Amino acid sequence: MANAVMAENILVMNDAGEIVVTSNANDRGNGMIYTESAKGKKLVLLGTTANGAGTVTTFRGLEMLVDLNSNPQTTAALSMS
């Protein structure tokens, strides 16, 4: 049995065959995890800012609800709609 799974892109499907989780690297090569509902609506994005700091963003459809990130050049930021 292998101790790890390695891939450039990992997709997780629900029982109905819809992709609800995507894990891959963004354009800058940093890790990203993206979740969506069974209806294809954005839910949560775990990723990085342009400066490489971590970020958590939650959505309701296309509307951003919360964006939590830590920028090494400033203090932590939390914005909510």
- 10 Å CB burial of residue 33 (0-12, 13-18, 19+) is middle
Alpha-carbon gap, residue 67 to 7, rounded angstroms: 28
pLDDT at 16: 95
pLDDT at 5: 85
Taking only the tens place, the pLDDT of each residue in 2-40 is: 788 889 999 999 999 999 999 999 888 999 999 999 999
pLDDT at 78: 56
pLDDT at 11: 96
The pTM (predicted TM-score) of the whole model is 0.77
pLDDT at 36: 95
